[in-house]
Structure formats: C-alpha cells, structure tokens
Amino acid sequence: MKHPYPIMLDLIGTRSLVVGGGRIAERKVRSLVQAGAHVTVLSPDFTDGLVEMGQRSEIKLIEERFSEAWLREQTASALKACRLVIAATDSAEVNQAVCAAARRWGMFVNVVDQPELSTFILPSVVRRGKLVIAVSSGGASPSFARKIARELEQSYGEEYELYLDFLSEFRLKIQAVIADKQARQQLFQEMLAWDVLPRIRAGTFADWKDKLFRAFDQEPAIATIRAFGRGI
C-alpha cells in the first residue's frame, strides 16, 4: 500500500463478512461490532468469545468452511449487501480465495496474513468518545503502531470524552447564533486555549459550563464568550 487513504467510515447497519473463527478473527469482529456493523462469521469453529457474541445475537455465526461451492450457494443480493470482508483464516490459500471473491463483488477486503492483497488495513485505535486516534505503520510494524497508540492513550485520558462533547455542543450553539463566519472560526481556535481540561480534571467543569451557557444565552455575542473563556 503506497498511499493509504485514511477515512472514518460509518458502518452502522451495514453488513460485513469475516471468514475464520480464531483469535485474529475475533479481534476484527469486535471492532466491527463496536462500529455498529452487522457481522457474519463463517468458520468451521469459533473462539469462546465469538460463541458468546453469537449467543447474545451480537453477530451471526455460520458453522461452515469457505469454499467456491459455498460461494455459489449464496444469493447475489446477500453478497452484494456486504460492505467489508475480512479473510482471517490460518490458510493463505483460503484467504486468497476469499480475497479474489470479494474483489469480484467489488467489496473492500482485508487479508490478515497478506497485506499486499488487502484493499484496507486496520490501524491501532484510541477512542475517547468522539475523539478517535488511529495509528498505522502501513503494515511495516503493527507492534509499533500499537506502541504509539498506547503512548497516546496516556497523553489523551478519559477526560477528553467530556471535552470533545463540550467543544461539539458549544460549537453548534455558536454556529446557530453567530452569523460572522470568520469571527466564529477565530473563536473556535481561541476556545482551545481555555482552561477546560483542568476544570474537568478538578471536577469544577459542570458548574463552569452552566455559567458559560447561561451567559451566552443571555447575551449571545462573541465578546461575552471571549471574556468568559479568558476568565475575565
């Protein structure tokens, strides 16, 4: 992959197929389910984790081997409904066959043991609510991508979830009321320098936010917000 193109996909309600039921398949399935995808797993056996997810109806398990014969039995509409396919068996040949079929159907495909065949690969991810930090080494060293993500996890703690919610909520409020686009954009930059994170950490954020929103509702002007943000 010379120039991977990073995107944030909305998979809610879409279908994905994972072929293979081992440890690696389970890791990929968990991230798909977390993203809201409907996942079908095709394999003659499954990890305990996958079995439990199947029992909780979080995923659909098909206890069969992938083969050309299995593929022929599937209806075109069922296959076409699949957005992503992950070939996660321990057989390079089977993974290649899954990849060829997925490409034939125009699906995006990830091959866990042959990155060069993949049309997408998975990054190491840190999630803090709306904040998603994805790190990829482009397949050079997945362990290194993971190491950087763990380091970022230390720098961007749990408080960032609330922080992003605040930035998002207040940004929408400002967009709805302040017509001057340039002034708005300047304010969005300035807001990043306010002492919001220390307030979240100190437990004084909710009170401060209430006051800010009340001040803004009473006098919806840039100057009010600026003065408040700077603690004047």
Ligand X SMILES: C[C@@]1(CC(=O)O)C2=NC(=C\c3[nH]c(c(CCC(=O)O)c3CC(=O)O)Cc3[nH]c(c(CC(=O)O)c3CCC(=O)O)/C=C3\N/C(=C\2)[C@@H](CCC(=O)O)[C@]3(C)CC(=O)O)/[C@H]1CCC(=O)O
Ligand Y SMILES: NC(=O)c1ccc[n+]([C@@H]2O[C@H](COP(=O)([O-])OP(=O)(O)OC[C@H]3O[C@@H](n4cnc5c(N)ncnc54)[C@H](O)[C@@H]3O)[C@@H](O)[C@H]2O)c1
- 86: three-class secondary structure by DSSP: strand
Query: Measured between alpha carbons, how far is 64 from 70 in angstroms, rounded to an integer?
Result: 8
Return the residues of window 58-87 that contact ligand Y according to CB under 6 A.
65-66
Q: Is 142 in the site for ligand X (CB under 6 A)?
A: yes
Tell me the window of 50-58, 71-79, 121-129, 196-204 that interacts with ligand X (CB under 6 A): 121-129
Query: Measured between alpha carbons, how far is 74 from 201 in angstroms, rounded to an integer?
Result: 53
The partner in contact with residue 16, picked from ligand X, ligand Y, none with C-beta cut-offs of 5 to 8 angstroms by kind, is none
Q: Is 21 in the site for ligand Y (CB under 6 A)?
A: yes
Total number of residues shown for the chain: 232
The binder of ligand Y chosen from 11, 17, 18, 25 (CB under 6 A) = 25
What phi-psi label fits residue 57: left (phi over 0), alpha (psi between -120 and 50 degrees) or beta?
Answer: left
| The two structure tokens encoding residue 207 | 């009170």
Tell me the window of 58-66, 97-105, 112-120, 190-198 that interacts with ligand X (CB under 6 A): 112-120
Under a CB-based contact definition with an 8 Å cutoff, are residues 109 and 86 in contact?
A: yes
The binder of ligand X chosen from 146, 147, 173, 209 (CB under 6 A) = 146
| DSSP H or E stretch at residue 87 | strand 82-87
Site string for ligand Y, 210-229 (x = CB under 6 A): --------------------
CA 45 to chain centre: 27
Bridge-based pairing state of the strands 108-111 and 38-42: unpaired
Q: Is 201 in the site for ligand Y (CB under 6 A)?
A: no
Q: Is 136 in the site for ligand X (CB under 6 A)?
A: yes
Query: Measured between alpha carbons, how far is 27 from 21 in angstroms, rounded to an integer?
Result: 10
For ligand Y, the binding residues (CB under 6 A) are 19-25, 42-45, 65-66, 88-91, 94, 112-113, 142
For ligand X, the binding residues (CB under 6 A) are 27-28, 31, 110, 112-113, 115, 121-124, 136-143, 145-146, 149
